[in-house]
Amino acid sequence: MSKTTINDVSTEPQPRGTAVEPRTVGGSRAFALLLVITGAAGLLAAWVITLDKFKILEAKARGETFTPSCSLNPIVSCGSVMESPQASAFGFPNPMLGLVTYGIVICVGMSLLARARFPRWYWLTFNAGTLFGVIFCAWLMFQSLYRINALCLWCSLAWVATIVMFWYVTSFNIRNGFLPAPDGLKRFFAEFTWVLPVTHVGIIVMLILTRWGSQLWA
């Protein structure tokens, strides 16, 4: 695989003067597009899951059963995941949280495309949000694989989108000096950021295959 680099580190000189203003940093076009694409993927997944959740509730009110289109077999069963207690971890359907958070990610990406620049506290807050997202996704993955015993394809899309945005936002902050890191780690993130989300997603795929194997296609 060829090396891919997103050059989004600010190289503009800082103004000189007695009053030093907080440094603001923008991102490259590639980084901005990555945020827009991953945010849109997560938003799409959250939107579809929300609609299917409403259809399930409406069908139950009529005494009927609604089966989401992504429910392919007993294992790949979006309906089983949507009707589980874990699907409302905070007292309301999880995808409603995604509708807000992925929308924010899209807004940040679009702002960067418009050449917006943000201070350190903004980028660290954004990074903390993506960290919460990836931890929450890890919990949902565990619940899906070992408690609910079913896999939702739309949820999987949201997981991948969250993982990719987390690692690239973390890389951005490390390379801009917003997160402390040794020079060797900065050089690694500058050249091989893609290794981390690929490895992360690869581990999840292996866990899924180990858990169910050929049952996924049964």
Is 18 inside any structural domain? no
Match 């929308």 to its residue by tokens: 103
Other C-beta atoms lying within 10 Å of the C-beta of residue 23: 15
**Separation of alpha carbons 45 and 213, rounded Å:** 24
What pLDDT sits at residue 35?
Answer: 98
What pLDDT sits at residue 183?
Answer: 94
Match 């050059």 to its residue by tokens: 7
User: Whole-model pTM above 0.85?
Assistant: yes
Which range marks the domain in which residue 54 is found? Answer: 25-208
Residues ≥6 apart with Cβ < 8 Å to 190: 5, 9, 175
Q: Which of 2, 29, 6 is nearest to 116 (CA)?
A: 29
Is 184 inside any structural domain? yes
Is 13 inside any structural domain? no
Residue 182 sits in a domain whose CATH number is 1.20.1440.130
Is 9 inside any structural domain? no
Is 66 inside any structural domain? yes
**Strand blocks (E) in 107-190:** 118-119
How many domains does one find in the chain?
Answer: 1
Q: Which two tokens stand for residue 164?
A: 């990719």
Is 2 inside any structural domain? no
pLDDT band for 11, please (50, 70, 90 cuts). very low
